Amino acid sequence: MMARFCKASQRLMRVAAVFAGLALALAGTGRAAELLDVRFGPGKDKTRIVFDLKGAPQYAVSGDDLGAGRIFVHFESLDGAVSAKSGMGHVAAARFASEGRGVRAMLELKKTAKIKEVFVIEPSPGVAKHRLVIDLVTADKAGLLASLPARKDDIAAIIEQVTGAAPTEKAPAQVAHADIPPAPSVKESAIAAKAESQVVVIDPGHGGRDPGSQGQSGTYERTVTMTAALELKALLEKRGGYDVVLTRESDTDKRIISSQRDELARRESLARAAGADLFISLHADAISQPAVRGASVYTLSEESTARSAKIAKSQGDYQVYDVNLKEYDSVVGDILFDKAQDTTMTKSSKFAEILIKNLSGKTPMLNRSHRQGDLRVLLAPDVPAVLLEMAFISNAKDEANLNSPVWRGRTMGAVADSIDAYFESESRQRQAQLAPAAGQ
């Protein structure tokens, strides 16, 4: 019962984060601050940006991929102004514009980079000002977009904007017995969810009647993906803090059915039904050029998002985070589906970047390791998901690796490390979002 309650709390946090969260990932508290200056500290492949402020900043970070990329810092309740300045390192220039009661800083990049870290340095003896620090490191545009905080929209604001009327709140149900505690607040749910296990769904690609690709020595893809999935499951369970679900447990699993299309749909549905916090599909690629080798990581392409909504509607599964979107006006439902999907794609790309970083040096990697595709198994709108092509089974050396316990342990260890790092980052982000409420 407690496990079910904690999982419900996690889902409550997800709904709150997507539908009733902040418009952007806000940080910092306090009254109006004053912007004093912006400085740059360039390095070989990194650049530090420092905003000097009098008073604690209230800020949000966003960006786009126009040109080499742009990063915006939205300061709320900000006094003072700074003139445009030439940048250094990755930054070509910094420009400032009034934005309501605040200021928007635009950092135009001359060399594409991603955000490695954003943090505030409090005043210290001898330094009376606050400093907002943004560290950039060289990356491609996919890395830049993946590093941006996910935009989160308030469901009430969307409904009011589209329909002209905010949703009415239902009266809380009466508690029948005095010994039954009231439902926890979102903040209390966050505390409960923090200690609860994360649900990771591992999908060993192919299986049953679908053997997948075959290597030069006769190795089947369905076999190496199953072995790798079991290795990863064992690693995660040994570390603790994870509930691991496999979409199949053997090649004779009765859940494996004849239609490949239906099987892919089943694996997506299984992940959602399990309340997955992360979905990883393991595969071993094949190509007609046997010299090609290396791993790659796929996330869902933007072009595939419309197909996701179409399939969800046709299958009567038009919901996100257990919220039935058919209860809303069709326009509102479409907007909410899109917003949930945007958040999920951002989280998927975030995990993909972490995964690629940890795999590098552990196993051969393809050039342009982060790829996007129209992959049915990644279509769930509310489950961050990646497809890992562990190696090319059509390459003799990669096939040998896929059959090697040493390689498998090393590579799945890197995947497990990436899962740890991803959830640690998500936890830090949730705590940062709750910080302003804690001070009220």
**What amino acid occupies position 344?**
T
Q: Residue 264 in contact with residue 376, Cβ under 8 Å?
A: yes
Q: How far is CA 273 from CA 112, 145, 198, in A?
A: 39, 29, 14
Q: Which helix (H) or strand (E) holds 433?
A: helix 405-438
Buried b (16+ CB within 10 A) or exposed e, 74-83: bbbebbeebe
Whole-angstrom Cα distance, residue 66 to residue 149? Answer: 17
Whole-angstrom Cα distance, residue 338 to residue 58? Answer: 27
Q: What is the reported pLDDT for 191?
A: 36
Q: What is the reported pLDDT for 314?
A: 54
Look at residue 168 and give its three-state secondary structure. Answer: coil
Q: What is the reported pLDDT for 390?
A: 96
Q: What is the reported pLDDT for 157?
A: 45
Q: What is the reported pLDDT for 150?
A: 53
Q: What is the reported pLDDT for 337?
A: 66
Q: What is the reported pLDDT for 223?
A: 94
pLDDT string in tens for the chain (440-residue length)? 444 434 444 444 454 444 433 333 333 334 567 889 999 998 889 999 999 988 888 888 888 888 899 999 988 877 766 788 999 999 999 998 887 678 889 999 999 999 988 888 888 888 889 899 999 999 988 888 878 765 444 444 444 444 444 444 433 333 333 333 343 333 333 334 434 689 999 999 888 778 889 999 999 999 999 999 999 999 999 999 999 999 888 765 444 433 444 555 555 566 667 778 899 999 998 998 999 999 999 887 766 555 555 555 555 555 555 555 555 555 656 666 667 677 778 888 889 989 999 999 999 998 878 887 656 556 666 788 899 999 999 999 999 999 999 999 999 999 999 999 999 988 876 665 554 444 43
Judge if pTM exceeds 0.85.
no
Three-state SS annotation for 380-405: CCCCCEEEEEEEECCCHHHHHHHCCH
Instruction: Report CA Rg, the chain.
Output: 24
Q: What is the reported pLDDT for 260?
A: 46
CA-CA-CA-CA torsion sign (283, 284, 286, 292): positive
